[in-house]
């Protein structure tokens, strides 16, 4: 694999609530902890903690807006995450192709020896 996988980044996007938050932010363009909590099955405090995780790995950035912070997805960091996922997927596809070839070879050998 040509790219290094960022474990902290993937740990952050491994949570389904955080993935939903990213989807919501991409759909709406931006959001606050309050606006996101209205659309998620978790409290505003939980949303704030999830946003802090996403912010720490650079997937979202916040700008102050009155008493709230408005969050937006960092599209460059998201593109980096997608590239890593694609690289990991390609690596696993290659591994699975090798396993399939080995299994087919074993099966052919068994059939040949059994005849």
Check: CB of residue 69 under 8 Å from CB of residue 62: yes
Beta strand spans in 1-115 (E): 60-65, 68-73
Radius of gyration of the chain (CA): 21
Asked if residue 2 is part of any domain, the answer here is no
Asked if residue 12 is part of any domain, the answer here is yes
Instruction: Render pLDDT for 73-88 as a digit per residue (tens, 0 to 9).
Output: 999 999 988 888 888 8
Highest-pLDDT range among 10-14, 54-58, 89-93: 54-58
Q: Is the pLDDT of residue 60 over 60?
A: yes
Name the pLDDT band for 5 (thresholds 50, 70, 90): low
Q: Is the pLDDT of residue 3 over 80?
A: no
The pLDDT of residue 115 is 62
Asked if residue 27 is part of any domain, the answer here is yes
- Span 27-35, average pLDDT: 96
The pLDDT of residue 2 is 44
- List the one residue out of 66, 65, 62, 57 whose CA is nearest residue 25: 62
Check: CB of residue 91 under 8 Å from CB of residue 1: yes
**Between residues 1 and 5, which one has the greater pLDDT?**
5
Query: Could you tell me the CATH number of the domain that includes residue 52?
Result: 1.10.10.10
Asked if residue 65 is part of any domain, the answer here is yes
Asked if residue 1 is part of any domain, the answer here is no
Domain interval for residue 14: 7-114
């Amino acid at each position: 694999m040509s790219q290094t996988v960022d474990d902290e980044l993937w740990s952050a996007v491994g949570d389904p609530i955080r993935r939903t938050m990213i989807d919501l932010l991409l759909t709406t363009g931006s959001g606050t902890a309050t606006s996101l909590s209205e659309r998620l099955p978790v409290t505003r405090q939980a949303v704030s903690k999830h946003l802090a995780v996403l912010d720490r790995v650079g997937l979202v950035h916040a700008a102050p807006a009155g008493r709230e912070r408005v969050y937006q997805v960092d599209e460059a960091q998201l593109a980096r995450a997608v590239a890593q996922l694609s690289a990991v997927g390609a690596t696993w596809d290659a591994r699975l192709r090798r396993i399939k070839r080995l299994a087919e070879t074993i099966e052919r050998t068994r059939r040949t020896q059994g005849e």
